[in-house]
Structure 1
Amino acid sequence: MDNPGDAEFEGAQFDPDAVLWVRGVDYVTGWREASQAAGELGDALTEAGVDVARAKLRASTTTDGSGVVRLELSPATAREVAKLVHVAATRWREAG
């Protein structure tokens, strides 16, 4: 995980000059929302038994300030997550 509070956080330096800032756009709210969502997703993956030690969840914002969560997984972990999603989707269809 790549969130500042995570044990795996590598302490990457933020360079404010490396991004385009638009006056009046609230980037903090979007980033905060994305950061919370990334944490929730990481927790859910962990609860589902996915090894997220090598996963990267990053909170970011788009140019309009909307939050976005970026998820990077190894191919093996992506397949594991795909299986979980397929199982969950099947159960939801059968329950509905």
Structure 2
Amino acid sequence: MDGIGDDGFDGEGLDPDAVLWVRGVDYLAGWRDATEAAAELGDALAAAGVDTTRTKLRAAAAADGSGVVRLELSTAVAREVAMRARVVTARWREVS
């Protein structure tokens, strides 16, 4: 949300909500919350055995000031995460 290259400056049209700040909206609180959530998600992915060196987690604030976490994965890592989620879900169903 800082400038060219960030969300809102993708060359396909400007998203005003991604770059304009509204007086009175606490973007910093949303960003802090997103930063904490991104760290938690990164820790959980690592604990699940996912190679987090090939992931990108970005904290941001939405137009309304709420926190947003963006997760970027290669297709290989996305498939790995999906497979691990399926395995864990199957185990939970067996226990229930």
The aligned counterpart of 1:81 is: 81
How many residues align? The count is 81
Are residues 1:24 and 2:39 paired? no
Structure 1 stretches of at least 4 aligned residues deviating more than 3 Å after TM superposition: none
State the superposition RMSD in angstroms: 1.4
Post-superposition offset of 1:94: 2.4
Query: Which residue of 1 is the match for residue 58 of structure 2?
Result: 58
Larger radius of gyration: 2
Q: Which has the higher contact order (CA 8 A, sep 6+)?
A: 1
TM-score by length of 1: 0.78
> Which structure 1 residue ranges, 5 or more long, are not aligned?
1-13
- 1:61 is displaced (CA, Å) by 1.1
Give the drift of 1:34: 0.6
